[in-house]
Amino acid sequence: MNKTALITGATSGIGKATAELFAEHGMHLILCGRRQKRLDELRITLGAKTKIYTLNFDVRDKAAVANAIDSLPDEFSNIDILINNAGNAHGLDTIDEGNLEDWDAMLDINVKGLLYISKAIIPQMVSKKAGHIINIGSTAGKEVYPRGNVYCASKHAVDAINQGMRIDLNAHGIRVGAVNPGLVETEFSNVRFKGDEARADTVYKGFQALLAEDIADIIHFVVTRRRHVNIADLVVMPTAQASSTIINKKL
């Protein structure tokens, strides 16, 4: 029987690439995002390969999250895999110049949004004593870099939640793990720099960054291991990257 995976932040970047790869392998998909047009496009393109259901909501809205999950038809109500991918970075200011709205956005999406989705889905996994949760973190959750302050704090929180979730759900046979990418060329920097494409492009110039498809491939590998195998915490960076601040732009 084909498994059903729910992916948040499915309309771009890592979430979209993961949805596309899962569809190639016949997984049934619940794709979540804020952009209805993109969700509609995915339903059409991937619907030819597998069963698709889309949910349009903002992970920051806990009532909307609960209502969306409660609205799932019976055919999609049994979720085997949860990919907590939705997340954003806003701004790159020093702590003294930080924007409060940016801080709220990062903490609400990266931390609280992940918790709201997990809270809505975990009970069914507990009841059937099975399930697999992948939390998409970041190397920013492993180290702090200049001007990273609150974004790094949000991803450190994801790291802690991932560990706590794995401990608490161990008794129920639920697998929990994190994939923590370094520099991945997606819309991430465009969002961080609030639409300044020229500035965003400079982030990836001079070296080969990871691609969303690279991370999707890793996520697929993680969720297709045999039942007794749980990849608990995986860090992946492009070859040119040694840390958040050391990047070899001569490669």
pLDDT in the model for residue 202:
80
For residue 211, with 0-12 CB atoms within 10 Å meaning exposed, 13-18 middle and 19 or more buried, which class applies? middle
Give 220-241 pLDDT, tens digit per residue. 999 999 999 999 999 999 999 9
Match 């038809």 to its residue by tokens: 73
Catalytic residue among 53, 116, 145, 151: 151
In eight-state DSSP terms, residue 92 is -
**Interacting residues of 75 by C-beta distance below 8 A, sequence separation 6+:** 51, 53
pLDDT in the model for residue 232:
98
Please give the Cα distance from 150 to 248 (Å, whole number): 26
pLDDT in the model for residue 186:
86
Task: Tell me, yes or no, if 151 is annotated catalytic.
Answer: yes
pLDDT in the model for residue 190:
66
pLDDT in the model for residue 19:
98
Provide the residue-wise pLDDT of the chain in tens; the chain has 251 residues. 699 999 999 999 999 999 999 999 999 999 999 999 999 999 999 999 999 999 999 999 999 999 999 999 999 999 999 999 999 999 999 999 999 999 999 999 999 999 999 999 999 999 999 999 999 999 999 999 999 999 999 999 999 999 999 999 999 999 999 999 999 998 766 666 677 677 767 888 999 999 999 999 999 999 999 999 999 999 999 999 999 999 999 86
Domain 4-236 homologous superfamily, CATH = NAD(P)-binding Rossmann-like Domain (3.40.50.720)
C-alpha angle with apex 207: 243 to 187, nearest 5 degrees? 85
Alpha helices in the chain (DSSP H): 13-24, 36-47, 62-70, 100-106, 114-128, 149-169, 188-192, 197-202, 212-223
pLDDT in the model for residue 193:
65
CA dihedral 177, 244, 21, 84 (to 10 degrees): 40
> Helix axis angle, 36-47 relative to 13-24, nearest 10°?
20
Strands 52-56 and 28-33: parallel
The domain spans of the chain are 4-236
Can you say whether the dihedral through the CA atoms of 54, 124, 85, 219 is positive or negative? negative
pLDDT in the model for residue 187:
74
Token pair recorded at residue 218: 């890793």
C-beta of residue 27 within 8 angstroms of C-beta of residue 80: no
